[in-house]
Structure 1
Amino acid sequence: MEWFLLVLLGLVAAMFGSIVGLGGGIIIVPVLMLLGSVLTGDTIGHAEAVGISLTVLVVTALASTMSYAKRNIVDFRSGGLFFITSGPAAVLGSALTGLLPAGVFQLLFGVFMLLMASLLIARDYMKPFTKKWPIVRTVKDASGQVHTYSYGIIPALAIGFGVGLISGLFGIGGGSLFVPLMVLLFRFPAHMATATSMFVIFLSSILGSGMHAVLGDTNWLLVLALVPGAWIGGKLGAAIAVRMSGKGLLWLLRVTLLLLAGQLIVEGLRSFW
């Protein structure tokens, strides 16, 4: 039963993550921390949960990227620019994870999830920035539709660094920040922002998970249990994302994030009492 639940966790987290460009870690990490004793019979520390999540994220993001690439909606050139800073920042964030006390990590992660849930709600009502940036990209997808958007090198590198740092620190993909910023600041089409975000997440999670592995934070048995569901969920989520708006699932994700955020904040505050 425990193995079945872990496979199911990997599938659900990866599916949600692929649909909105999150990567799934934002669900895997809190669930492992809060329900580790139920799933494995033993508690799972925050550094171990992050190490497991980032390792599984490599598989999830690869599956999603491959599916999106077939539809020609991954901007590899722009993704490579974001990765210049997101990769090293993911390594830095991964190195900092174990230095935080468990209660502080839970509190910070809970506040972060609360902010991300709020951003997922607010982005439906926010209008894209009208500025035309120096670098203009024109890309044609598999359906023949042409998309034009632009960005600046310095803002792109700054965003890449921030996303990479958060990714390595919390064990998440960072798409919860990446996608809205790409859409609102640079006017990326939503589906192309999600696809490109998953490509950058794939590259960054390789470096971040490598650092956690070096630090001994990775439980490989749990990784093996989560990977099959993550691979299927990553492909399933990518397929759903290009066929529907995903608004119903997006609201389910928002509510889930709010509930998990509340629980993590409570657990974090308890450590100070």
Structure 2
Amino acid sequence: MVFLIMFMIGIITAFTGSIAGLGGGVIFVPTMFFLAQVSSDFSWATPQNIVGMSLVVMVFTGLSSALTFMKRKRVDVVSGALFLAGNLPGALLGVYFNQYIQSELFELLLGILMLVIVVLFFVKKYLPQRKYDENHEKKTHIHRKFLIAGYEVKYSFSVILGVLVGFTVGTLSGLFGIGGGSLMVPAMILLFGMPAHIAAPTSMFMIFFSSLLSSTAHIVSGHIIWTYALAAIPGSYLGGVLGARVNQHLRSETIEWILRIIMTIVGIRLII
């Protein structure tokens, strides 16, 4: 029964996460904590086990989603690589701090972070996207052009800011096992002026590499219970492929509203 539950968690988290470019960790981690509290079958789940398994699962979510998005030319590989320059060192730092955090403090900090992410969802929707200014093509900025549905979109941003934001998101990802897409997508749209249809796929591209490094560190630290992780991995790969395909047809706002409600309830529950 536990294996079936893990398989279903893999599908659901990857499917919903891939649609919105989140990776699914914001669903996987709280769900595992809840199961650990209500069922003796999940008594093995510690913060280190949960975060490590979440990152392992997201490797396959990110891989399947990124490959699907890349076939449709929606991934900004250049910008993604720049963000990863800061994201990967930050992920290792987050993994290092994770091994010293206790369950009570972990739940409190995760609850606060989830409420912050909910706020970012609203900010992402209601604040205007940063405009591209052709008159300020600074050498310290990266400049990108994309063709989406016949329309050319342009955006630029500071290389230093991109690396710093990537580092911050990577640290939180390694610490909490959330993938970082829930933080990175709003940052891409608000700070860097990236269109949503490029930001979410690029986020999944980043999540693959970031989760690969973070999960490797957790594996080396002995935090992965492979018996259960292997049950979730097939589901996560399948969910990632399906989510990336549905992304083209389903309004991501619908999924995001569901996530907002769930994350608000879970965030408050973790804090209390």
Q: TM above 0.5, one fold?
A: yes
The AA in structure 2 aligned to 1:193 is A
Deviation at 1:146, TM superposition (A): 2.7
Code of the aligned partner of 1:204: S
Asked if the contact 1:6/1:39 (under 8 Å) is kept, the reply is: no
The one-letter amino acid paired with 2:63 is: L
Deviates more, 1:4-13 or 1:106-115: 4-13
User: 1:20 corresponds to which residue?
Assistant: 20
The answer (yes or no) to whether the contact 1:72–1:140 under 8 Å persists in 2 is no
Query: What are the Cα deviations for residues 13-62 of structure 1, in whole angstroms up to 9, with x where unaligned?
Result: 11111111110111111111220363834241111100000011100000
Equivalent AA in structure 1 for residue 48 of structure 2: A
**Greater shift after overlay, 180-189 or 237-246?**
237-246
Bigger drift between 236-245 and 160-169 goes to 236-245
Q: Tell me if 1:158 matches 2:159.
A: no
Q: How does 1:222-261 map to 2 (within 5 A)?
A: 222-261=228-267
Cα distance between partner residues in 1 of 2:27 and 2:11: 11
1:270 corresponds in structure 2 to: none
Contact 2:131 2:155 in 1 (8 A): no
Identical aligned pairs, as a percentage? 39
Q: C-alpha separation between the residues in 2 aligned to 1:94 and 1:122?
A: 28
- For structure 1, the 5+ residue unaligned runs are 267-273
Structure 1 partner of 2:185: 179
Q: Is the 8 A contact 1:191 1:241 kept in 2?
A: no
CA RMSD of aligned residues (A): 1.6
Paired residues for 1:29-40 under 5 Å:
29-36=29-36, 38=39, 40=41
CA contact (8 A) 1:167 1:173 kept: yes
User: Following TM superposition, by how much is the alpha carbon of 1:249 offset from its aligned partner in structure 2, in angstroms?
Assistant: 1.6
Letter in 1 for 2:144: R
Tell me which amino acid in the other structure corresponds to 2:243.
G
8 Å Cα contact 1:21-1:194 kept in structure 2 = yes
| Pair 149,39 (structure 1): closer, same or farther in 2 beyond 3 Å | farther
Q: Distance in 2 between matches of 1:242 and 1:190?
A: 12
Matches within 5 A, 1:144-155: 144-155=150-161
When the two structures are superposed, what TM-score results if normalisation uses the length of structure 2?
0.93
